[in-house]
Amino acid sequence: MNKDAILRQFREQKELMEDRIYHGIESHRKGYFKINLTDEKGAPVKGAQVSIRQKTHDFKFGCNIFKLKCFPSQEENLLYEERFKKLFNLATAPFYWDAFEPEQGRMRFEKNSSFIDRRIPPELVLEFCRENQIEVKGHPVFWQVMLPDWLPNDYEELKPCLIDRIRAIAQRYDGVIKTFDCVNEVTSVPMLDYEPRLQDTHYRNFKPLSGEYVDWIWRETEHCFRKSRLVLNETTAPWGAGFKKEVSHFYLLAENLIRKGRKVDIIGLQYHNFNKPEEMAALAEHEYNPKHLYKVMDCYAKLGRPLSVSEITVPGYDDGVQAEALRNLYRIWFSHPGMESIVYWNLGDNCAIAGGGGWAEDQYRSGLIRSDFSAKPSFQALDELINKEWRTNLDLSTEEDHLYFKAFFGHYEIRVLRNGQEVVRDLHLSKSGFDEFSFVL
């Protein structure tokens, strides 16, 4: 595996990449804010010590949380939770239909539902995320893959079953779970006209569908989900060689749904590099090409909806290559004004779908942590970005009655100290909120 060949575009385009990253982050992820200092009568007060500490990010850094409480020992489960909390403020919860409703009418909502590895019930996810101030995303409402065997093999007959599923999930979680992937991988997963065969390992439980299924499901879902935001989620295909600007298949699908008035709130662009070692150098053409990545984001941003890198797999055959690639990719994505979230897929090497006679994710060794829960260089690289480089912590002095400062958008604790008197406020410094605040001493 040739490291230089894999990473060559990041290095050749370094000046272009760093320029756009710097200006993008400074312009779109940070803002200027003002603090005014007065006494109780409103008179200006000069000379104070100001401590500014960022507590949370507005931008969402996420990961699937499929392995929560799934490991054999309490020690392993705690290590998983600690690693998760260290980086992420967004968790993708599994709603795959086959595991969520293995028997018709018996949906696995509750914490005490029967155990299925990597298919934890949503109430377990919500409990953990509430305790740790982590937002939850549901995945997916509908995907042509991983459908329950009990579904009828007829499109019209399965519709009432899907309506029951949508209504049941919405009744409990509309607005509680802030975001749902509504329809998944439409333009990439085949629509079979034949009964699936034994050798069709990934599509064994595929059901017949009509070409209008996306619009029909979206209408049913948006009718029930009035508060949660809905994502149109697609595979890695939009990033690759098939990108044809505004006439790309996925772009045309999204544009069509939006023009019909469908509630498409977010455009989800997966980023799975399911490449074997000998195939890694090919990523330099598109997926590891900064100029191309910006072109894709610039194009899809024209749809007028926020973007999300919704599922990420970067192979870890070489720790250094994985870390350097992810550091560059995250900075590129974070710098784009249209992007609102970046979601890694499997936190650890022991979190992926394991092999068992068919295709499996674990062969790519894409985790940010090893199977013993030790941090890889890629985890450390993201920790450095999310918790240090992209975090504002300042200690300032002012001789005037005001103070200007620039900060990343998020929630802050701000302390103002003067002559032994201290005022502490928790403030949300956001792109669309107040940019000037008063402290009375």
Buried b (16+ CB within 10 A) or exposed e, 162-192: beebbebbbeebeeebebbbbbbbbbbbeee
Average pLDDT over residues 172-188: 98
Residue 392 CA to residue 126 CA, distance in Å, equals 29
pLDDT in tens, 393-432: 999 999 999 999 999 999 999 999 999 999 999 999 999 9
Would you say 371 and 72 are in contact if contact means Cβ atoms under 8 Å apart?
no
pLDDT in tens, 54-110: 999 999 999 999 999 999 999 999 999 999 999 999 999 999 999 999 999 999 999
pLDDT at 358 over 80: no
pLDDT at 341: 99
Q: How confident is the model at residue 294 (pLDDT cuts 50, 70, 90)?
A: very high
Multiple choice CATH, 59-388, 3.20.20.80, 3.40.630.40, 3.30.70.930, 3.40.50.1580: 3.20.20.80
Q: Above 90 in pLDDT, residue 200?
A: no
Length of the chain: 441
Q: Exposure pattern of 278-307 as b/e (b: 16+ CB <10 Å)? A: eebbbbbebbbbbebbbebbebbbebebbb
Residue 357: its pLDDT value, please? 56
Please say whether the beta carbons of 33 and 407 come within 8 A: yes
71: tokens are 């490991």
Single pTM value for the model: 0.97
Rounded Cα distance, 122 and 94, in Å: 7
Angle at 316 between CA 314 and CA 318, to 5 degrees: 130
